[in-house]
Each structure stands twice: as C-alpha cells, then as structure tokens.
Chains A and B, each alone.
Chain A
Amino acid sequence: MKRTLGPVIRHAVLVLGAVVTLTPLLWMVAASFMHTGEANTIPPRFLPRDPTFAQYIALFTRLDLARNFLNSALITMIATLVSVLVNALAGYAFAKLPFRGRDRMFRQLALGLVVPAQVAMLPLFLLLQRLGLVNTYLGVMIAYFASIYGIFLIRQYALSVPDDLLDAARIDGAGEFRIFWTIVVPVIRPILVTLGAFTFLSAWNDFMWPLIVLSDSGKYTLPVALANLVGEHVQDTELMMAGAVVTVIPALAVFLIIQRAYIRGVMAGSVKG
C-alpha cells in the first residue's frame, strides 16, 4: 500500500481524524471545568472562561458520587481478580491437561459465543432473586466471573507453554496445582494482564446488568448512577460532564497504562481466533 496518497495528504487526513476523534472527549473535560450555564451559550465555548472545580465538588458532596465510585471500584476489582483466576485455570486445562472428550467440550463451549448475553438476563434475574442476590454487589459480579472469550484467550496462549517444562516438574514430584501456580502463571503472565484489562474495562463500563440487578441508588455503579442523574439534571451540562469525566478517567487510565497488553489481546483474538 505505498504511494496511494501523497504523504502530506495522508498525514493531514490522519490529523483531521484524530481531531474529530478527540473533540468529544476534550469538550467533555473542558465543560466539566465551566461554571453552571457556561456550556449553554451561542456560539458554544471550547474553553472555560474561569476554570472551576465547582462541578466536581457538587458531585462529591451534594450528590455523593464518591459512593458510586467506590461501588464500581469494588465490583470491578473483585470481578477482575476472580475472573483472571477462574479463566486461567480453565484455559490452561483446555490447553495442557488432556482428558476424554475435552476438545469436543471446548468446541461446544464456543457455541456460547454467538448467544447474546441479554438472552440469559431475565431468567438469571429470577435465579438471583431465589438466591437472595438481587440488589447485591455479588449479584452484579457473578456475571463477570467466568467468560468463554477469556477461556479462549488463555488457552491460545497456554498452548505455547513447553510440555518439557511441565513434565520436568512432574518428575520432580510437584502437584498439578503447584505446577500451575509456580511454573505456568509466570509464563502466561502477559495474557493474564490482557485478560485482566479486558475484564476490568468491561465490568467498569457495563450498564445493563447492574441496571437490572441493583435497585437501591446507594448501591449503583457509576454508569447506572450517571444515567439516573441525567434524568434529574439534564439542564446541568457542566455537572453531567464532570460526572462523565469521573466515570471515564479510570477506564482510560487502565488502558493507557497497559495499552500494549490490551492491544495485543484485541489482535490475538482475531487473527488466530
């Protein structure tokens, strides 16, 4: 693909694309530092005249958004830790611990990938109700603990773990779990980071499931609290933008810190999958 566009034009288009991509996010940040009413002017303002933290202060005092932030953080972190452990064990078993019918089972599991999660939500809600888990953090988290996609991701990577390494440890008399913990985990660490990032972001950003499970506004996660807030405060553009910033920043931070692992995961999921 060389010399299809002049390098200058190509870079101009790339820069234009970057501006268009970033504008909504930059405007969100700018508006969050404006005084009430400042974002609703003609022509629209791009920069705050006199930057203020007033909106953020209102969010964390009057509206108690810190609580929702902590709910999101708690649910996301526990879900991430459990999901990495559960999927790593399963993915490794599918790659390296043979038993009868294992590969057929793996193929059948793949069928689940085409089933939209929403199809399971209504009965799952009724099941959680029987178990007394409606309106609890555990009820939200439980849906993130195991993922077919996560098992796929780990299995693919674990296939490359050398069998000699495992056999040597077996000859030394190590148990299977010890082999997993002390030999396999360090080798597959990069993909564990990737899976952790995926789980973190999908749990943090999820909306429909916590919306269904949680009924008490003190237990809402940030996205649910935000969607609820926009109903009452739709006129308060600047306040809502501060809420959006608070919700988006942790997701962006996690992505920027482990960008490499994340991007590798997206690419691995497609090319070999």
Chain B
Amino acid sequence: MRSALQRRQARSGWLFLSPAFLLIGVFFFLPVVAGLLLSLTDFDIYAIGSPGTARFVGLRNYVEVLRSAAFWGALRNTLYFVVAGGTLSVAVSLAAALLLSARVVRLRSLFRTIYFTPVVTTLVAVAIVWRYLYHPRYGLLNHVLGWLHLGPVDWLGDPHWAMPAIILLSVWKNFGYNMLIFVAGLQGIPEEYYEAAAIDGAGAWRRFLHVTLPGLAPIFLFVGLTTMIGQFQLFAEPYVMTQGGPLGSTRSLVLLMYEEGFRWWRMGTASTIAVLLLLITLAGALLQMRLQKGRGS
C-alpha cells in the first residue's frame, strides 16, 4: 500500500516536471551545448541556407577572436561596466536601504515604491528617455549642471563620457532592486546587536562597520553575484543610445556577439564570443565567492 502510493507520487512527480524539463532542456541546455559545438565551426551566412557547408575548424575561432582588437575592446568596456557600474549600483542600493530602514522614517512604503519604480520600467523606453536627458544642448542633465556652473558635457558623443553615462542610467534603473534585498537583510539583524555596540561606546560609523556590514555578509554575496551576472549582459543601453560608439567605447561583449551573429551572420565567431562570455562570468562568480569567503573568516 505504502509503496504503491510512493510509486504513484514518483510517477506524478516525473509527469509534473516533464513540461518544464522538456522546455528547459530543448530550449536552454541543448542550445548552450550546441553553442560550444558551434564555436568550433565556421558556420556563416551560407551555412544558414545549407548547414552541410559548415566545417569543423577546431579552435581557430578562439585564436582569431582572442587576437582581434574588437574583442579586447568589448571586454574592457564590459569589465568597466561590471566593476564600476556594479560597485556604484550596489553602493547606492545600500545607501538607500540604510536611509529607508531607520525607525524615524515616515511614509516608508511610499519612498520604497518610488525608488523601486525604475526597476519595472521598460529598459528600451527609459534608455530613449535618457538619450534625450543627455542631449548636449537641450538635455535636462546639462541644464542642471549649468546651475552648478559645470559642463556642458557631450555625454553620449564623447568616448570618455559615454560609458559613465550608460552606468548612470543603469544605476538609476536598477538600484531599487538590490535596495529591497538590503532592506530585507537589515530587518534580519537583531536590534540588540546595535544596542550592545552602542553600550560599548561605538559611534554610528563603527556600528555600521562592525554590526551592519557583517550582518549583511550573506546578502552581499547574493547581491554581488546576481548584479555581476546581470551587468555582464549589457546590451540594450548601448544598442539604443550609442550603437556601441563613439569610437567603440560602449560596445559590450553581448553587443559584439549580436553584431557578429545577427548582422554579419558569422555564427561560429559569435558563438565563440558567447562561450568566452560564459567562461568570464563563471570566473567572476568563483572569484567573488573566494573573496567573500576570505573576508568572512
């Protein structure tokens, strides 16, 4: 009786999982593996018509990609966005969460909703909005800088400013997400820790360093990893705002992959870039886990 019931549950378990497994297997894991194989071929526009013409070329694509200036430029731009943009974004999120979490704050849920709003907006739409905000003559941003006797800055036209401009947009768009996660994390730190630290004579800054930051350690790992993985996927902002320019200063790895694959139909080369992106992301994830573990002990 018991085992018949167990068998029934196991059978149903498989049945309930099968649609998800089928979809994820066929439309995600299979393509990931196929991407590895594709990166070892010279699959190009002719092969799209008749796949038989694609040939196995070993690691030739990797040698070519790793020798191309375009790849290293895109890698540099992407790392700039991941490291500078990711760090700034997490810092702003934490600051907003700390501001919101004090007991004295009125209208907390209103502020929380306002800060979260950009997260749910459509990236393409707000990238277009910011493109106008960044306009060197008519843009709001240079106008505000003018009040402070700064600028004007040719935000999207100057190779030195284009990536900072994209970072600023992405911080505005994303900080609310990690803010919520930090708020949840702050709620998990017992009030007594702060009281004990205050009794020991610790000021606000020391309480932040010795109570808040250690209390948030597991949250930092989660936020760090998800933010990094997300930042590596930079695509829509440069596609809509700069087309990768000026002078290639905002061309990300994903944008380069898109151009190689879907503009020039060099699927072999594009897959090579995709595989390298995966490896770099994994390396970044491992590095972060190592660093955080080192700090924790």
Question: Which residues of B are found within 8 Å of A125, using beta-carbon distances?
Answer: 261-262
Q: How far is the CB of B251 from chain A (nearest CB, A)?
A: 15
Name which residue of chain A comes closest to B180, CB basis: A266
Q: How far is the CB of A196 from chain B (nearest CB, A)?
A: 14
- Give how many A-B residue pairs fall within 8 Å (CB-CB): 301
Partner of A115, one of B26, B254, B278: B278
Question: Which residues of A are found within 8 Å of B125, using beta-carbon distances?
Answer: 28, 223, 226, 243-245, 247-248
Interface size class of B (residues with CB under 8 A): 35 or more
Question: Which residues of B are found within 8 Å of A129, using beta-carbon distances?
Answer: 48
Q: How far is the CB of A27 from chain B (nearest CB, A)?
A: 6
Any A CB within 8 A of the CB of B219: yes
The CA of A216 and the CA of B210, in the complex, are separated in Å by: 58
For window 43-89 of chain A, which residues contact chain B by CB distance below 8 Å?
43-44, 86-87, 89
The CA of A44 and the CA of B131, in the complex, are separated in Å by: 14
Contact status A120-B31, CB under 8 Å: yes
Q: How far is the CB of B230 from chain A (nearest CB, A)?
A: 9
Contact status B35-A119, CB under 8 Å: yes
Q: How far is the CB of A238 from chain B (nearest CB, A)?
A: 10
Question: Which residues of A are found within 8 Å of B132, using beta-carbon distances?
Answer: 31, 39, 237, 240-241
Partner of B17, one of A94, A177, A251, A270: A94
Name which residue of chain A comes closest to B137, CB basis: A42
Identify whether the interface residues of A are mostly helix, strand, loop, or mixed. helix
For window 215-273 of chain A, which residues contact chain B by CB distance below 8 Å?
222-224, 226-227, 230, 237, 240-241, 243-245, 247-248, 251-252, 254-256, 259, 262-263, 266-267, 270-271, 273
Q: Please name 8 further chain A to chain B contacts, defined as beta carbons within 8 Å, in addition to the given A120-B35, A146-B23, sorted by A numbering.
A: A5-B99, A7-B104, A14-B111, A99-B14, A116-B233, A243-B125, A263-B112, A267-B180
**Which A residues are closer than 8 A to B by beta carbons?**
1-5, 7, 10-11, 13-14, 17-18, 20-25, 27-28, 31, 39-44, 86-87, 89-90, 92-94, 97-100, 102, 109, 112, 114-127, 129, 142-143, 145-146, 148, 151, 170, 176-177, 180, 201, 204-205, 207-208, 212, 222-224, 226-227, 230, 237, 240-241, 243-245, 247-248, 251-252, 254-256, 259, 262-263, 266-267, 270-271, 273
Lowest 6 CB-CB distances: which A-B pairs, in order? A97-B13, A99-B10, A90-B20, A123-B34, A176-B12, A120-B31
